[in-house]
Amino acid sequence: MKRWLPVLLLFAGNALSEGKTETREMVGQIGSRDAYLVLHATQNADGGWHMTGEYLLLPNLQRRFLDGERSPQLGVATFREGTSAILFGRPATGELRGTLRDGQFRGTRYGPGGQERERFEFTEEFPAMDGYAAHVRCEAGDARYASTLQYTVEAGKLKAPLEWRSRVGAAGHSCVIRAGEQKHFRGGLAFAHGDCTVTLRELGEHVKVSASNCASACASEAYLEPLLVDRRGRCRLLRPEPR
């Protein structure tokens, strides 16, 4: 994939038939630390769910991968935690045990020796951003990708079109978005550029900026990596390397 974040999916209750998948993101805390969680679920023949995913501890973007099971009715979930997306045969850094249902994931994180470390709680309900205000003009990138973002929001309203540009690789393929139409969006803000939508969601002390359905605004090899914007208006790629 062109983004760090794989397609990560979570079951949506008993309404899903066997084998059906659905994308979910969750925000919350592990201990006193803000965290962002995504999960991928595949329904088993017995009605339970095999789930994989990862979470990020904010603001240092410490990344942990998860693999485990969720029971079909009570929602009891146990996840093995590690520093690599391939957990089989590798030492675990911990385990998350809890209950995952009704858009909530609550429980306890244990150390690799089984000792209780900290409580955690996640929800699919992201904070409203009706009062959000920021003037952002920032750059982020790495050796082969560069991105610039500019927007002004006052009291949750876009004051001028959001502009987001990216440039990829030696060929210089690019994306150019000028999103000026504000859309209704629960748990954040959304701005449209034709069929392309840019969304802002609050993650603790940061705002995550991401794009969807934006292929028409990009050259063939170009894309838009999600960004994290801090309270000073600085941005960084939401694509950390495992630590």
Does this model's pTM top 0.85? My answer is no
List phi, psi (to 5°) of 14.
-70, -10
> Is 1 among the domain residues?
no
- Report, as an integer, the average pLDDT of 151-160: 97
Structure tokens at 60: 């240092």
| Same domain for 21 and 119 | yes
| Same domain for 169 and 113 | no
Residue range(s) defining the domain that contains residue 118: 13-123
The pLDDT of residue 222: 94
The pLDDT of residue 10: 38
The pLDDT of residue 7: 34
| Same domain for 141 and 100 | no
- Report, as an integer, the average pLDDT of 120-134: 96
What is d(CA 82, CA 61) in angstroms, rounded to the nearest whole number? 15
Q: Which range has the worst mean pLDDT, 59-63, 141-145, 220-224, 229-233?
A: 59-63
Domain termination site, one of 70, 89, 123: 123
The pLDDT of residue 240: 55
- pLDDT tens digits for range 171-195: 889 999 999 999 999 999 999 999 9
- Report, as an integer, the average pLDDT of 88-97: 89
Mean pLDDT of the chain: 88
What is d(CA 39, CA 7) in angstroms, rounded to the nearest whole number? 9
Environment class of 5 (CB within 10 Å of its CB; exposed 0-12, middle 13-18, buried 19+): middle
